[in-house]
């Protein structure tokens, strides 16, 4: 696969809205391209390529040396996508079409000091479409409507393999997946699969009281849904790793948790910041995520721990085909010596769905997002299997806020203002309290974009300040104190719930409303 063919594939994927259509495009690429090109394409889409970090500031600097800086600034403001802007504005030069493998090798191995000259030379020798694909590879920002799971699903369908079997071994493999494609052609199952450190997690589906009423509550167990991040804790042969639910190794950010993992097995649970018996808000946990190292001061002020839900493997025995009740009994006994920083999520006593509904409405802590409901006889099944596990989240908080700023989106939204900052009243002043870029329909997005263009007051690069007249209803899951924000608060998962053209800006909510929510936390 050449870079031009890769660029063409990205364009087709971006403009094919249907999932099945994207899977067919990928299947054709797996068939028509040789190794290692097809494996590198798959790795690019799943986010598994490990390339040198190419920053937007580096690319902007290179472009300003090749093109008029003011024209570039205006163009970027209009287009909204850095890679697309550079690919169009970069001066034309000689044309080449290198193999994808050559480009990936360069970006993976070139010393940081030589990256600017490498990137400049490549951009000089590529056409606009190839430049765009090259820049997306270099920045790791492939947004073509293909998730990592969709890419793996497309491979499994093409290979005539169960998706669960592919995901079972995925994290033991590495690009360009030569042994994986050889397996499809008749070679033995990849040997690395026997050493897969991470196993696909079991996911839940959303539910409500109406759906639950058709089920027998005696067949289900329930527990709180904690506001942390789902993890898989693996300790095998002396090697300890902590993974996110997608298989990302986050051990380096949580050495205090890794140190506690004195067991032999694979456990499923929630990563939380724990101070004594208290579970801290998600904002405290967020301060430790994505760190390569953690200072002793951070370890003391933000001590992490695990609240466990399930066990997949224990002392070399795979328990996933056993029932939930059987696995939980093993888990309760196994982790008893690890208490209190690692403990078992308690089950909730309930005899009817109405009783569980009452518990859900009155949780003992504000960091609880709702309840999890699990069928007692269910095995541990990879993926989001409808039926065995449910999540019944709390109803979101709602406030009315005023749009203050808007920023252009990226990818398919690069032609629209789609990232909105909104605020509430603090006396006679509006103070920002959050930012949202989803929740609205396509029609509402066009309406909001039109409002921004017709009501711009000031411009700050790709950001516009707008007239304080548009009210939106904002839904959010929780609230944290935040000294980094002028308002002193930060929202958890904010989204625009609806546009309130019926409400004047003066009647939007006040900061005291949010402060009252914090006060009850």
Please compute the mean of the pLDDT values over residues 391-402 and round it to a whole number.
90
Q: What is the pLDDT of residue 314?
A: 95
**Tally of CB atoms within 10 A around 112:** 10
Structural domains present in the chain: 202-393 (3.30.470.30), 397-519 (2.40.50.140)
Cα(329)–Cα(167) distance, rounded to whole angstroms? 27
C-beta of residue 405 within 8 angstroms of C-beta of residue 465: yes
| Per-chain mean pLDDT for the chain | 89
Q: What is the pLDDT of residue 238?
A: 84
Token reading at 170: 């995925």
Cα(44)–Cα(108) distance, rounded to whole angstroms? 12
Res. 194: pLDDT tops 90? no
**Tally of CB atoms within 10 A around 25:** 15
C-beta of residue 101 within 8 angstroms of C-beta of residue 33: no
Q: Known catalytic residues?
A: 225
Stretch among 133-147, 287-301, 307-321 having the lowest mean pLDDT: 133-147
What residues pair up with 244 in beta bridges, in sequence order?
Answer: 231
Res. 520: pLDDT tops 60? no
Query: Which residues fall within 8 angstroms of residue 331, CB to CB, at 6 or more apart?
Result: 267, 308, 310, 311, 314, 344
Cα(304)–Cα(235) distance, rounded to whole angstroms? 17
The secondary structure element, H or E, covering residue 492 is strand 489-492
Determine whether 146 is exposed, middle or buried from the number of CB atoms within 10 Å of its CB (0-12, 13-18, 19+): buried
Q: What is the pLDDT of residue 24?
A: 94
Please compute the mean of the pLDDT values over residues 131-151 and round it to a whole number.
85
Q: What is the pLDDT of residue 195?
A: 61
C-beta of residue 355 within 8 angstroms of C-beta of residue 208: no
pLDDT category of residue 16 using cuts at 50, 70 and 90: confident
Strand boundaries in 31-138, DSSP class E? none
Res. 313: pLDDT tops 60? yes
Q: pLDDT of 18-56, one tens digit each?
A: 889 999 999 999 999 999 999 999 999 988 888 877 888
pLDDT category of residue 196 using cuts at 50, 70 and 90: low
C-beta of residue 121 within 8 angstroms of C-beta of residue 134: no
Cα(158)–Cα(152) distance, rounded to whole angstroms? 10
pTM above 0.75, yes or no: no
**Tally of CB atoms within 10 A around 65:** 9
């Amino acid at each position: 696969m050449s870079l031009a063919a890769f660029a063409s594939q990205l364009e087709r994927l971006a403009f094919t809205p249907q999932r099945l259509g994207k899977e067919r495009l990928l299947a054709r690429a797996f068939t028509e391209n040789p190794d290692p090109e097809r494996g590198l394409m798959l790795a690019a889409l799943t986010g598994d390529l490990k390339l040198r970090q190419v920053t937007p500031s580096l690319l902007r600097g290179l472009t300003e040396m090749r093109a008029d800086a003011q024209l570039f600034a205006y163009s970027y403001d209009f287009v909204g996508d850095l890679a697309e802007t550079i690919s169009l504005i970069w001066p034309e030069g000689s044309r080449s079409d290198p193999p994808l493998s050559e480009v990936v090798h360069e970006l993976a191995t070139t010393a940081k000091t030589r990256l600017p000259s490498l990137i400049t030379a490549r951009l000089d020798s590529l056409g606009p479409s190839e430049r765009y694909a090259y820049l997306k590879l270099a920045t790791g920002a492939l947004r073509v409507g293909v998730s990592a799971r969709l890419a793996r699903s497309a491979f499994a369908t093409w290979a005539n393999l169960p998706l669960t079997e592919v995901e079972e071994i995925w994290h033991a493999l590495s690009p360009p997946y030569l042994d994986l494609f050889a397996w499809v052609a008749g070679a033995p199952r990849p040997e690395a699969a026997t050493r897969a450190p991470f196993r696909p997690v079991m996911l839940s589906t959303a539910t409500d009281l109406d759906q639950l009423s058709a089920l027998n509550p005696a067949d289900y167990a329930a527990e709180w849904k904690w506001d942390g991040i789902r993890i898989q804790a693996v300790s095998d042969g002396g090697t300890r790793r902590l993974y996110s639910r997608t298989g990302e190794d986050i051990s380096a950010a949580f050495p205090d948790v890794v140190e506690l993992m004195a067991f032999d097995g694979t456990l499923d649970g929630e990563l939380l910041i724990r101070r004594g018996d208290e579970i801290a808000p998600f904002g405290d946990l967020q301060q430790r995520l994505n760190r390569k190292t953690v200072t002793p001061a951070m370890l003391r002020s933000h001590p992490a721990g695990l609240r466990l839900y399930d066990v997949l493997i224990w002392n070399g025995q795979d328990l996933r085909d056993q029932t939930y009740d059987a696995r939980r009994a093993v888990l309760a006994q196994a982790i008893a010596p690890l208490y209190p920083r690692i403990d078992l999520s308690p089950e909730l006593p309930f005899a009817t769905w109405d009783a569980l509904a009452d518990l859900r409405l009155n949780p003992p802590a504000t960091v609880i997002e709702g309840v999890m409901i699990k069928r007692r006889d269910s095995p541990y099944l990879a993926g989001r299997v409808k039926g065995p596990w449910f999540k019944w989240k709390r109803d979101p908080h709602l406030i009315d806020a005023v749009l203050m700023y808007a920023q252009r989106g990226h990818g398919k939204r690069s032609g629209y203002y789609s990232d909105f900052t909104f605020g509430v009243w603090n006396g006679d002043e509006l103070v920002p309290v959050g930012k949202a870029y989803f929740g609205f329909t396509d029609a509402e997005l066009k309406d909001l974009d039109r409002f921004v263009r017709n009501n711009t007051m000031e411009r700050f690069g790709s950001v516009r300040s707008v007239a304080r007249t548009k009210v939106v209803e904002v839904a959010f899951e929780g609230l944290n104190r935040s000294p980094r924000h002028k308002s002193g608060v930060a929202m958890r998962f904010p989204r625009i719930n609806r546009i309130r053209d019926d409400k004047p800006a003066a009647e939007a909510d006040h900061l005291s409303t949010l402060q009252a929510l914090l006060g009850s936390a």
